Amino acid sequence: LINRRVSGERSYDKLLGGLLADGFDERSCRSRYQSVMYRRRPSRRPAAYLVSKLRQQEALQRRCGPGTAAYGHALEQLRSGKSGGGGAAGAQQDCKYLVSISYRGLGNRILATASAFLYAVLTGRALLVDPSNEMGELFCEPFPGTTWLLPPAGFPLASYTNFSVATAESYGNMLRSKAIRTDAAAAAAGGDVPAFSYVHLDHDATDQDKLFFCDEDQRVLRNIPWLVMRTDNYIVPGLFLVAGFREELGRMFPEPDTAFHHAARYLFHPSNHVWGLVARYHDAYLAAAQRRVGIQVRVFGSQPDSPALLEQITRCTQKERLLPELLAAAEDADPAAQPGPSRKTKAVLVTSLKSWYYEKLKGMYWERAAAGGEAVSVQQPSHEEFQRFGARSHDAKAWAEMYLLSLTDALVTTAWSTFGYVAQGLAGVRPWVLYRPDNETHVPDPPCGRDVSMEPCFHAPPFYDCRLKRGADTGKIVPQVQHCIDMSWGLKIV
């Protein structure tokens, strides 16, 4: 069987329906073709059109990537500050670039990178990822025969990682200072565009910055050879708001709720070190169980161990029949309740910075019998206590745990957490979301809800109707984009 790996009685489609390119060296990135053997749920099928776009993007990345003549030429252009005359034709000038800044937690970085990638594919740009924060160590290269990491040496925008809302070259600030104009007169004049612009789509982006999500602004941005983007968000719902992208997005994703799923399974392959963490843990603690439930308990800041949150987790998982109820002590003591060794096994994978929730859950299912006689094992790979930035083993564990969560059959996630979004998208499942309580002692009722799609939520979306040029509820403009259940003002693709 071509592209199929046979193991035991099952055969695996290791290229995920054509999503992945064949021909990579398997040893340098074992996860790329092995991960399919660890998933019980097949990935959603990519559209043939998406597959062809990915192959085109790979060719573009090879033609324009670091080390090519086109790349050298584009760097020259950037150094000179000139765009080359508003998009004049020329063999070397058709390489345009998008540099994605890598910062904040790993979940944020993954969402930002996936967003940048889809924007790059839509706009025919080569994607270059800022190598900060171990991006090269945590992930394999996604494009064959080239690198997606921006080589820092010789890159003219030396301080690009410090670009912020105040940077004069941000798209929003250039609009404000009229260094860029979007009106018809400017377009007719041939548009003298700068060599680069900084797209600031961080959580503190201004209304001007968010004009990025309007058609006429995209027409200007299209001609700028270099864009540097900072976002800690999943901005793809905003791209569906741009009329000029909608048809193409519709062809790439006839099932719009798979946009992140496909982007993530295409781009993010754990490096061999991280894959070792994933595979060993899976084989030791998850492989034998009949069912696997992932529970992601995101503890923000210095939030103390919370009995209310524990109760929220148990109420949610028992109400939704993800975990069995516990027998009352008297039934438990009845020898008839335990006829022999249990054949029904369930592995619960808890991920959290703290160990308290895991210890309590584990204690509950040890000290009391589960209704139905199920054997419930509760595990947690690590408890790092606090979120840390730039610590190597910390991020490797976080990545391994997101990936392990994505190998479970059912997933419970914490509202607002990008860590959970990555797991659900990779898994291809709609999670049960633990609603955010009003205060720390309150258990929300209901405790959780089934998400409307597996897509991540865009936390800082625009609230503007570009056509009507006024404020608007952007969750009501196109049917594919609605508000999120975990954050009422956020947007997600359904």
Identify which range of 77-85, 348-356, 363-371, 449-457 contacts ligand GDP by CB under 6 A. 348-356
Of 401, 451, 455, 486, the one binding ligand GDP (CB under 6 A) is 401
Of 100, 218, 417, 424, the one binding ligand GDP (CB under 6 A) is 417
> Which is closer to ligand GDP, CB of 386 or CB of 463?
386
Of 73, 265, 298, 492, the one binding ligand GDP (CB under 6 A) is 298
Binding mask 2-31 for ligand GDP (x = CB under 6 A): ------------------------------
Taking the complex as a whole, the smallest distance from the CB of residue 355 to ligand GDP amounts, in Å, to: 11
> Which is closer to ligand GDP, CB of 34 or CB of 418?
418
Taking the complex as a whole, the smallest distance from the CB of residue 447 to ligand GDP amounts, in Å, to: 19
Binding mask 250-289 for ligand GDP (x = CB under 6 A): ----------------------------------------
For residue 106, state whether it binds ligand GDP (rule: CB under 6 A).
Answer: yes
> Which is closer to ligand GDP, CB of 96 or CB of 104?
104
Identify which range of 18-26, 50-58, 98-106, 272-280 contacts ligand GDP by CB under 6 A. 98-106
Taking the complex as a whole, the smallest distance from the CB of residue 305 to ligand GDP amounts, in Å, to: 14
Structure tokens that stand for 402 in this block: 């997101």
Taking the complex as a whole, the smallest distance from the CB of residue 1 to ligand GDP amounts, in Å, to: 37
Of 5, 368, 387, 444, the one binding ligand GDP (CB under 6 A) is 387
For residue 459, state whether it binds ligand GDP (rule: CB under 6 A).
Answer: no
> Which is closer to ligand GDP, CB of 234 or CB of 365?
234
Taking the complex as a whole, the smallest distance from the CB of residue 279 to ligand GDP amounts, in Å, to: 17
Strand pairing of 4-7 and 10-13? antiparallel
Binding mask 365-384 for ligand GDP (x = CB under 6 A): -----------------x-x
Of 316, 370, 398, 481, the one binding ligand GDP (CB under 6 A) is 398
Whole-number CA gyration radius for the chain: 24
Taking the complex as a whole, the smallest distance from the CB of residue 468 to ligand GDP amounts, in Å, to: 33
> Which is closer to ligand GDP, CB of 62 or CB of 394?
394
> Buried (b) or exposed (e) across 368-381, using 16+ Cβ within 10 A?
ebbeebbbbbbbbb
Taking the complex as a whole, the smallest distance from the CB of residue 139 to ligand GDP amounts, in Å, to: 14
- Tell me the number of residues near ligand GDP by CB under 6 A: 20
Taking the complex as a whole, the smallest distance from the CB of residue 387 to ligand GDP amounts, in Å, to: 4
d(CA 402, CA 149) in angstroms, rounded, equals 22
Of 61, 418, 453, 482, the one binding ligand GDP (CB under 6 A) is 418
Structure tokens that stand for 252 in this block: 């790439």
d(CA 486, CA 448) in angstroms, rounded, equals 9
Taking the complex as a whole, the smallest distance from the CB of residue 421 to ligand GDP amounts, in Å, to: 8
How would you write the chain as a 3-class SS string?
Answer: CCCEEEECCEEEECCCCCCCCCCCCCHHHHHHHHHHHHCCCCCCCCCHHHHHHHHHHHHHHHHHCCCCHHHHHHHHHHHHCECCCCCCCCHHHHCCEEEECCCCCHHHHHHHHHHHHHHHHHHCCEEEECCCCCHHHHECCCCCCCCCECCCCCCCCCCHHHCCCCCCCEHHHHHHCCCCCCCHHHHHCCCCCECEEEEECCCCCCCCHHHHHCHHHHHHHCCCCEEEEECCCCCHHHHHCCHHHHHHHHHHCCCHHHHHHHHHHHHCCECHHHHHHHHHHHHHHHCCCCEEEEEEECCCCCCCCCHHHHHHHHHHHHHCCCCCCECCHHHHHCHHHCCCCCCCEEEEEEEECCCHHHHHHHHHHHHCCEHHHCEEEEECCCCCCCCCCCCHHHHHHHHHHHHHHCCCCEEEEECCCHHHHHHHHHHCCCCEEECCCCCCCCCCCCCEEECCCCCCCECCCCCEECCCCEECCHHHCCCCEEECCCCCCCEEEC
For residue 354, state whether it binds ligand GDP (rule: CB under 6 A).
Answer: no
Of 71, 163, 260, 419, the one binding ligand GDP (CB under 6 A) is 419
Q: Which residues bind ligand GDP (CB under 6 A)?
A: 104-108, 298, 351-353, 382, 384, 387, 394-395, 397-398, 401, 417-419
